[in-house]
Amino acid sequence: FWSAFADTKACRDVLPVFLPRLIPVLLKGMVYSEEDIAVLGTDEEDESVPDRPEDIKPIFYHPKSQGGNRTHDHQEGDDEDADDDEEDEDDFDDDNEVSEWNLRKCSAAGLDVLSGVFGDDLLPILLPLIQERLSPSQEWPVRESGILALGAVAEGCYNGMRQHLPQLIPYLTAQLQDPRPLLRSITCWTLSRFSRWVVQQNDHEHYLRPLMQELLKCILDRNKKVQEAACSAFATLEEEAQSELVPYLGPILQNLMFAFQKYQAKNLLILYDAIGTLADAVSHELGRPEYVAVLMPPLIKKWNELPDNDKNLFPLLECLTSVAQALSLNFREFAEPVYQRCIKLIEQTLRAQATNGGEDSEKEFIVCALDLLSGLAEGLKADLEPLIGRSNLAPLLFECCKDRAPDVRQSAYALVGDLAKNCVLHLRPCIHQYLPVLTENLDPDFISVCNNASW
């Protein structure tokens, strides 16, 4: 209710007088109930327990835009508001075993939205209540709800919170060592909401390095929920820190790749994203031989284990796209089998579509394969030419350019652009075929397709 009411024009005029009564109610609703704790468990070391298929959300692949950049934009024709709602739900998706939407989630989401409406005006009411909840004398579920509240208002009350962060960030970092997995988990999320401030301080000794070290420990936690929260938080930190991470690449890679030996299927998907985000953040710095020796063997091992029809290939292919771009020419020794499998995935999917009388098959296999080929083109540049010359990429790519699925065309045009920029030798004889198709797709009704076609 409060999330919806905050979107109305009357909210700012009517609600301020009620905030001193409303905020304590929302904070109370954010405490785990006894039933929640019973379902979730509090001390479980469950890293060796395989995930149930129903615990893993369906895997969807998002095509890239404009010449090789990974994107998580909504698909053509999607409702942007629906995507925003899903992101808001994911922000508080720490207890999906309990229910899809419960009192805790609704209360936290309500506080988040209200902080966006009232901003720092909320803090005189909120901060004393949170400080009381963070007292060491409180039971851990109450302290946990206080940390959740800090994360909920991190964006809406950011300006007012900044003066408190020099004391708050070290306190939260220390909470990553708490014996309660649910408290460690929510602390990872809350710290991720303040990661931009941590990076902006340019104080590695007091903020960035301690936070990074504790998050890396939590990535290797024995509790799957903590692993998930820590891996997601570290990916957010990577996006903010970018090249600031370069001095720490050795221990970062050691921890991330060791996690491959520990993670079950669900968290493995998040680990792929963290590795891909790291590659995007540090770029060619990842190409040093000692880093390649740590990074690539687990990825290639997983690449060889997964069959061609397994959708778990999608996040791995997306991860390898970023890795190939970052490693550049240092990816050469892995390029041929990766390239050949991408061609195979495209061929198989187009063949299945033809066999089904033109009905759409699993187009995501084409999309992720095209995007990985773009990553190879960006990374290897002219060194990719011999592989292209020994394959039938040109006719396959032309078929993809004419596909009726916007996602396929979007990634196909991105690959055409990357080939034209980096290794045009085998594309040049076909340019006269591609140009009319590209021109036909300068259609603003499909924005991402149009962008890639014009690029």
Dump the DSSP string for 314-353.
HHHHHHHHHHHHHHGGGGHHHHHHHHHHHHHHHHHHHHHH
**Any long-range contacts for 36-42 (C-beta under 8 Å, 24+ apart)?**
36/95, 36/98, 36/102, 36/104, 37/141, 37/182, 39/97, 39/98, 40/95, 40/97, 40/98, 40/182, 40/225, 41/181, 42/180, 42/181, 42/182
Is the Cβ–Cβ distance between 204 and 29 less than 8 Å? no
The pLDDT, as a whole number, for residue 142 is 97
- Token readout for 449 is 């397709």
The pLDDT, as a whole number, for residue 8 is 86
Question: For tokens 């309500």, what's the residue?
Answer: 110
- Token readout for 231 is 């891996």
How far is it, in rounded angstroms, from Cα 412 to Cα 374?
9
Question: For tokens 């060791």, what's the residue?
Answer: 258
How far is it, in rounded angstroms, from Cα 128 to Cα 140?
18
Is the Cβ–Cβ distance between 191 and 233 less than 8 Å? yes
The pLDDT, as a whole number, for residue 9 is 84
Q: Specify the length of the chain in residues.
A: 455
**Any long-range contacts for 428-437 (C-beta under 8 Å, 24+ apart)?**
429/394, 430/394, 430/398, 433/398, 434/398, 434/401, 437/398, 437/401, 437/402
- Token readout for 274 is 């963290």
CA 223 distance to own-chain centroid: 20
Please classify residue 357 by burial: count the beta carbons closer than 10 Å to its beta carbon, then call 0-12 exposed, 13-18 middle and 19+ buried.
exposed
* 267 φ, ψ (degrees, to nearest 5): -75, -20
How far is it, in rounded angstroms, from Cα 74 to Cα 55?
24
Is the Cβ–Cβ distance between 276 and 70 less than 8 Å? yes
- Token readout for 380 is 């290897």
Question: 100: helix, coil or strand?
Answer: coil
Q: How many CB atoms lie within 10 A of CB 297?
A: 12
Radius of gyration of the chain (CA): 24
Give counts: helices (H), strands (E), the chain: 25, 0
Instruction: Give kind and range of the element (H or E) at residue 161.
Output: helix 158-161
The pLDDT, as a whole number, for residue 291 is 97
How far is it, in rounded angstroms, from Cα 91 to Cα 108?
9
The pLDDT, as a whole number, for residue 38 is 83
The pLDDT, as a whole number, for residue 100 is 63
The pLDDT, as a whole number, for residue 290 is 97
How far is it, in rounded angstroms, from Cα 83 to Cα 156?
20
Is the Cβ–Cβ distance between 263 and 227 less than 8 Å? yes
Is the Cβ–Cβ distance between 371 and 325 less than 8 Å? no
- Rounded average pLDDT per 10-residue block, the chain, 455 residues: 84 92 96 86 78 71 53 36 46 54 89 95 97 96 97 97 97 96 96 97 92 97 96 97 96 96 92 97 96 96 93 93 96 96 95 75 89 95 94 94 92 93 87 87 87 87
The pLDDT, as a whole number, for residue 445 is 84
The pTM assigned to this predicted structure is 0.88
The pLDDT, as a whole number, for residue 235 is 97
The pLDDT, as a whole number, for residue 340 is 97
The pLDDT, as a whole number, for residue 131 is 96
Is the Cβ–Cβ distance between 445 and 77 less than 8 Å? no
∠ CA(90), CA(235), CA(247), 5° rounding?
165
The pLDDT, as a whole number, for residue 347 is 95
